[in-house]
């Protein structure tokens, strides 16, 4: 097995959870890498929406470095600007929202705004929602990616940027006036998570080879649901890694570093 980085594992797993003949609203960075890899492998009919307003571009001029990169408009079937992109989600034309974040709680609510108790004087100011807040509210299912660290998987968010299942009550999203079924997967370097249908709490689905469910729980502030049938995460093959590195040939996203 060829060696791979933690970031490459996230990108590969992101590709793996995407399905053929669906539409994914991608955020900048690893979601784009994952979606392109999925198109090249098991999901040739996967279509991408970019926040700047394009649907299903042909990426024959290289990988877009942001959702506003002009390469993301190349030969698109739909190109009507930012408002047009979000109108597509409101009309039900997005199966997945693929977003990042700085913090996530047990109900899949995501913070990408700040860290700290005071909004005006945060300890850390993050980039903010971008389009992630609207994507999580309107797309059918939300996929989030982040490193598996206790400071990220928290009991209480410092700020709710992108709505998940709220407080976990069955009708929370309906009362909040948002669409879609909510959080679907959380992808990390060491584990893949889903959500329990009844309680809406985060559930451990897969762990990286050599990692135990107990190891994962140690890196999460809240109590996970850990079923008896937790699986091993699939690892990228040499061909998968070749494709990933070809897609992001300059290493803009795949060469980023973070804690294990």
What does the pLDDT look like over 154-199, one tens digit per residue? 999 999 999 999 999 999 999 999 999 999 999 999 999 999 999 9
Which residue among the candidates 8, 19, 51, 238 is catalytic per the annotation? 51
Q: Which helix (H) or strand (E) holds 86?
A: helix 81-90
Mean pLDDT for all residues in the chain? 93
**Averaged pLDDT, 224-231:** 97
Residue-wise pLDDT for 18-65, tens only, equals 999 999 999 888 999 999 999 999 999 999 999 999 999 988 888 899
DSSP percent split of the chain into helix, strand, coil, nearest 5? 25, 20, 55
199-217 burial, b if ≥16 CB within 10 A, otherwise e? ebbbbbbbbbeebeeeebb
Helical spans, DSSP H, in the chain: 6-17, 30-40, 81-90, 132-138, 172-176, 213-218, 238-247
Which of 1, 3, 251, 5 is closest to 147 using CA atoms?
A: 5
Judged by DSSP in three states, 194 sits in strand
Read off the pLDDT band of 258 (50, 70, 90).
low
Q: Do the beta carbons of residue 140 and residue 94 sit within 8 Å?
A: yes
Read off the pLDDT band of 2 (50, 70, 90).
confident
Known catalytic membership, residue 21: no
Give me the domains of the chain, ranges plus CATH numbers: 6-247 (3.40.1080.10)
pTM of the model: 0.93
Q: Do the beta carbons of residue 226 and residue 106 sit within 8 Å?
A: no
The pLDDT score that the predictor gives to residue 260 is: 47
First to last CA, the chain: 20
Q: Do the beta carbons of residue 130 and residue 51 sit within 8 Å?
A: yes
């Amino acid at each position: 097995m060829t060696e791979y980085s933690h970031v490459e594992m996230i990108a590969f797993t992101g590709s793996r959870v995407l399905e053929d003949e669906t539409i994914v609203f991608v955020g900048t960075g690893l979601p784009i890498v994952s979606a392109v890899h999925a198109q090249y492998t098991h999901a040739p009919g996967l279509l991408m929406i970019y926040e700047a307003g394009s649907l299903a571009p042909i990426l024959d001029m290289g990988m877009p470095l942001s959702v506003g990169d002009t390469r993301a408009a190349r030969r698109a079937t739909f190109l009507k600007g930012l408002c047009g992109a979000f109108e597509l989600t409101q009309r039900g034309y997005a199966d997945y929202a693929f977003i990042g974040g700085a913090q996530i709680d047990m109900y899949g609510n995501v913070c990408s705004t700040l860290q700290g108790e005071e909004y005006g004087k945060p300890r850390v100011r993050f980039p903010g929602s971008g389009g992630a807040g609207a994507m999580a509210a309107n797309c059918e299912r939300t996929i989030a990616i982040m490193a598996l660290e206790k400071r990220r998987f928290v009991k209480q968010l410092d700020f709710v940027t992108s709505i998940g299942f709220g407080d976990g009550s069955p009708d929370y999203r309906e009362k909040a006036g948002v669409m879609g079924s909510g959080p679907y997967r959380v992808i990390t370097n060491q584990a893949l998570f889903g959500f329990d249908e009844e309680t809406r709490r985060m559930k451990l689905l897969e762990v990286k080879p050599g990692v135990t469910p107990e190891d994962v729980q140690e890196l999460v502030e809240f109590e996970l649901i850990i079923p008896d049938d937790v699986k091993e995460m699939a690892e990228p093959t040499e061909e998968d890694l070749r494709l990933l590195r070809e897609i992001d040939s300059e290493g803009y996203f795949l060469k980023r570093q973070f804690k294990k």
